[in-house]
A and B are shown apart, each in its own frame.
Chain A
């Protein structure tokens, strides 16, 4: 059983560009959450998707948007990249997080560097 997978593993962009990160959840999981982990910090919650809709959102600007597909995979899009967006972006999947938050598992992350 494959766990949570993310692509790409590394990415380099320049300021002002747009980026799309992808996540495939663990088999049987229907909820996907995205986190930003800046260097030396703990992960910060960006948003959560369930049934193809954004269910929860953290304190991130509208430049951060997402999507969940019918197969539960998800994308994170960041527009107008800033230097401060450089971070490790983690995807986590769970089984209906509102009912089973303890089932959340994390992927290996995508490391984004904005120059």
Chain B
């Protein structure tokens, strides 16, 4: 079985500061890992994904995440927060055999001007 834990349901950062959103997963097999962003009253937009290969993954809007197998983590970072980054962020895990996605409960990011 797989599961995702997002530490911190609410994160606030100042504009220009580092963004760090934490995600830990449990999976009995090598997982696929994803980060999605959701703006108010909208669907989910894929930020980045890890499937295989390089463990540091770069996504859209300057975000990146690093797959650390030993720590079972896939934390999302961005060097400098922008006001437009304020949104809900979801980490998700999927195995490679066609089973469903499992989402975390989300982290709401607030950017303070």
Which residues of A pack against B, CB within 8 Å? 4, 6, 33, 35, 40-45, 48, 55-56, 58, 90, 92, 97-99, 101-102, 104-109, 111
Contact = CB atoms under 8 A, between A and B. Distances in A.
B4 to A, nearest CB: 8
Contacts of A6: 43
Contacts of B96: 101
B106 A56 contact: no
A44 to B, nearest CB: 8
Given A42-B90, A108-B42, A101 B98 contact: yes
Contact of A42 (B43, B49, B98, B104): B104
Interface of B: 4, 32, 34, 36, 41-46, 49, 51, 90, 92, 94-106
Contact of B51 (A40, A102, A109): A102
Contacts of B104: 42
Contacts of A45: 100-102
Given A48-B100, A56-B98, 5 more contacts: A42-B92, A45-B100, A101-B94, A101-B95, A102-B94
A75 B79 CA distance: 41
Contacts of B105: 41-42
Nearest to A108: B43
A58 B49 contact: no
B42 A105 contact: no
Contacts of A56: 98-100
Contacts of B95: 101
Residue among A33, A92, A104, A109 with the most chain B CB within 10 A? A104
Nearest to B45: A106
A35 B100 CA distance: 10
Contacts of B103: 42-44
B44 A58 contact: no
Nearest to A3: B43
A98 to B, nearest CB: 3
Contacts of B36: 106
B104 to A, nearest CB: 5
